[in-house]
Structure 1
Amino acid sequence: MLADMPTTTDGGGLDRYDFFISFTDSDREWADWIDALVPEVRNVAGDPCTALYQGTQFVAGTNWVAMVQDGLRRADRFVAVFSDAYLKASSFGAAELHAAWRTDPNGAFRRVVPVRVKDCEPEGLFGPIVYIDLLGLGPQAAERTLVDGLTAAIHGRRPRRRPPFPGASR
């Protein structure tokens, strides 16, 4: 049991997570950054979101395969950190992504939430899935884009923000 990790329960006493973060080693810094921002997103209950993330919860003594299986089963959404390394070279990432996609193949529940962090083009089954695109953004814009994108995946719409006045000259 992950006693120090704030989570919700599924009514049967099992921990639930808002997100499971999947990545390949070359994108670990991006995954760490995404995991750090997850609590800034609010879930449907209005609570800070939680994530099951290898970088913090897969510790000595745990079974990596069992943790992945648990994460896929107990997380509401699957965040895939998209890069060429993940899409073309990570057999573990591919297996996790396919397992998550199988639970929501038409995207009705927005279960698979890709986050593109490096230049890549998803192909095949994953080509049509809308991703959160962080490519080329600075730190503040990337943070806002990620938090807004994860919020939209949970609530089914982007956060409403007042746009700048269109008639003002700058």
Structure 2
Amino acid sequence: MSGAAPPLSPEEAAIVEQRWRSGAGGLRDRRLQGAGCVAAFVGMAALTLTPALAGWMTVDPALAYAILGLAVLMLVGGAAMGLIGAGRAGAGDRAAIEAAVAALLEANARPGSPVDEAATLLLHLREATPGAAPPDLPARLAPVAGELQRVERYLIERRRLPPRSS
């Protein structure tokens, strides 16, 4: 059964490449999570190092308290941003996957090849947080499994996706 689907035509390959390039930067909520983690780390480092540096050099007490206050704000605020970003990313991933599945199934009902929608769905599945895909997804995608396999094979050959492990 493997290898039954024909490879992508040059036009379809161009559509998939364009979709992959345009969608590769769509990690908006994870950016919030990453920025929060970095801010928390910088706050923690400043909180840890300020007293040690004050022992080696003369620092005005007002400046030291300002630095420590800013460090505490960065630590607490960064942790909050990281947690909020993590929660929002999972919810956004599920909604994006559901929308991509609906678009793919709708495009499959029309004449022509839905490679653009298949590439969009594969991009969302690759970028999604673990567990974001609904459990009934394989059954819902059964009518478009051939199209998904064609696009996935193309993306694996171009090293955009890792090969399946089993």
Greater fraction strand? 1
Q: Rg larger in 1 or in 2?
A: 2
Which structure is higher in RCO with an 8 Å CA cutoff and minimum separation 6?
2
| Shorter-chain TM-score range | under 0.3
Greater fraction helix? 2
- The normalised TM-score by structure 2 is 0.25
